[in-house]
Structure 1
Amino acid sequence: MGLRFSEICIDATDIRMLSAWWSQVLGWPAENTDDGDVTLRAPGGVGPDWLFLAVPEGKAVKNRIHFDFTPDDQDAEVERVIGLGARRVDIGQGEQSWVVLADPEGNEFCILAADG
């Protein structure tokens, strides 16, 4: 018996807006599903797809799981994503090498220091 990591499910009050935002951030294509959800397809099948599911309630507390992204240029990527609508958030991380941001629905994610 084995498991394949195929999808990350993301609850959102506005799945069209949030999936379009992440599609722009990641450069991944968005597709409507037969169930009315939206999927972002990982390019070349590398990594899980992101499935956006509609929920009536907004985010209420800090994420229990979040995404970390490693850019080529941390400062440039932070500014690019903020320009798209992310915002800096303080979740008690203190002074660190990573930057904590939130997407338009408040989901936290980190942009790590660049490799090398």
Structure 2
Amino acid sequence: MSLEWEQVVVDAADPVALGRWWAEALGWVVLNDSAQEYEIRPAADRVPGLVFVPVPEGKTVKNRLHLDFRPDDQAAEVAGLLALGARRADVGQGEQAWVVLMDPEGNEFCVLRDRRT
């Protein structure tokens, strides 16, 4: 058996709005801008990507799966994400080298410390 990781599917109240937010936050390209399946990738020919699909229910608890990102400059990336509408999150992590944020729909993700540290 041979498997290739294609994408992560994200449930969303508004897939288009959330997909656009992530595309801007990551600088990724949009492959499909349908309200039923909004897909972004690092580049058109690169995987994995993120696909945002509509669900009727809102998020109610901490995610069981989240994304981690390692930036060149943690402070600059966190500031930029907060300016785009991300919010700080406390998931019980305590004092750590990473920063936990939430996207506009409340999905947690982490910005790890800088590559240089």
TM-score band, normalised by shorter chain? over 0.9
Structure 1 residue aligned with 2:28: 28
> By how many angstroms is 1:7 displaced?
1.2
Structure 2 residue aligned with 1:101: 101
Structure 1 residue aligned with 2:2: 2
Pairing of 1:10-21 with structure 2 (within 5 A): 10-21=10-21
Give the Cα separation in 1 of the matches to 2:7 and 2:90: 28
Root-mean-square deviation (CA, aligned residues, Å) is 1.6
Structure 1 residue aligned with 2:57: 57
Give the Cα separation in 2 of the matches to 1:85 and 1:47: 26
SS in 1 for 2:20: helix
Where structure 2 has 5 or more consecutive residues not aligned to the other structure, the ranges are none
Tell me the percent identity: 50
SS in 1 for 2:62: coil
Give the Cα separation in 2 of the matches to 1:87 and 1:35: 24
Pairing of 1:53-92 with structure 2 (within 5 A): 53-92=53-92
TM (normalized to structure 2)? Answer: 0.92
> By how many angstroms is 1:74 displaced?
0.5
Write out per-residue CA displacement over residues 25-74 of structure 1, whole angstroms, 9 at most, x where no aligned residue.
Answer: 01112233678311002326333121111000111100101000011110
TM (normalized to structure 1)? Answer: 0.93
Q: Is contact 2:15–2:35 with CA below 8 Å preserved after alignment?
A: no
Give the Cα separation in 2 of the matches to 1:33 and 1:84: 20
What amino acid does structure 2 have at the position aligned with 1:41?
Answer: R
**Matched residue count:** 116
Where structure 1 has 5 or more consecutive residues not aligned to the other structure, the ranges are none
Judging changes above 3 Å, is the alpha-carbon distance between structure 1 residues 35 and 112 closer, same or farther for their aligned structure 2 residues?
closer
Higher share of residues assigned strand:
2
What amino acid does structure 2 have at the position aligned with 1:89?
Answer: A
> By how many angstroms is 1:24 displaced?
0.3
SS in 1 for 2:68: strand
